[in-house]
Amino acid sequence: MSVKAISRGLGSVLVLLILASLLLTPNIAEAKNADLSNKIVTTNFNLLGPIIYVDVSNISGIEDGTQQNPFNTIQEGITAAINGDTVLVAAGTYTENVDFKGKAITVKGIAGAGNTIIDGGRVIYGLPVVQFISGETQDAVLEGFTLTHRAGTSPYGSGIYIVNGSNPTIKNCIITENSADTGGGIYISGASATIINSVITGNRAFGNGGGISTSFGPGTTVINSIIAGNRSGAYGGGIAAEGGVNLTVLNSTISDNTAVHGGGGNL
């Protein structure tokens, strides 16, 4: 018996595009390897609230979110958390779909994106790997994960799905091998996001935005990140921005993206 306890259309477009120190990387391997080591940095923990622990290797049947008895799914950690908490996730592959549930919490892979993977599973037209759909603020932070949907697809944002006025922060993540009708890697609509020190590569959209699709929101910001090797069957292999959205890109690499219209971006 498992014991689980909780301790507590591309119309008129208004785009602000700032490309500071835009780099042109000649090949994807270089973007994924050499540039990754430079752009994704390990930061010291700054944990403001109580800590909830998650470790997929805990198969004891005893789970309470403590370091001794961690939950074995990320969603359990989020469910147990309240605003201000930090969910620390041990290295491993977590096959699940994660919803932040409107909470102002930090969910962090302790061992970094290279060693902490969230796989959305093998469902065709299934849920995204991670979704922010409940008006999350910038204090909803996802950090240090690889997000992939290797054998599945989603209608929108197979890697990350952001809607309903949400405005999360994505840091030190790798979004790769995701496939969707729109926004293969990340889909943002009527919402915002701040994407920092992250790599968005090898994603595909059958429609717009192979890497990122952003539309009808107050603004999306991409900082110190790599958007490379993504594909679109329509507009914006790297980024598609539409519907008057403000898009700011700073100190980032956009290269080797392909699309029927606008390989790097459709802005």
CATH number at residue 145: 2.160.20
Cβ-contact 50, 85 below 8 angstroms? yes
> How many angstroms separate the CA atoms of 52 and 168, rounded?
20
- pLDDT tens for the chain, 267 residues long, are 444 544 443 232 333 333 333 333 334 444 444 444 444 444 444 554 699 999 999 999 999 999 999 999 999 999 999 999 999 999 999 999 999 999 999 999 999 999 999 999 877 678 899 999 999 999 999 999 999 987 677 888 899 999 999 999 999 999 999 999 999 999 999 999 999 999 999 999 999 999 999 999 898 999 999 999 999 999 999 999 988 889 999 999 999 999 998 766 555
Domain that holds residue 192: 3-8+10-266
Nearest Cα neighbor of 159 from 121, 197, 108 is 121
Is residue 264 packed enough to be buried (19+ CB in 10 Å), middle (13-18) or exposed (0-12)?
buried
Instruction: List, for residues 48-75, the tens digit of each pLDDT value.
Output: 469 999 999 999 999 999 999 999 999 9
3-state secondary structure of 50: coil
Q: What's the number of domains the chain is made of?
A: 1
> How many angstroms separate the CA atoms of 52 and 65, rounded?
5
Q: What are phi and psi of 76, to 5 degrees?
A: -60, -40
3-state secondary structure of 209: coil
pTM of the predicted protein model: 0.84
Residue 232 carries which side chain, given as an amino acid letter? S
Whole-Å CA distances, 117 to 6, 22, 55, 121, 171 = 24, 29, 12, 12, 14
> How many angstroms separate the CA atoms of 16 and 161, rounded?
22
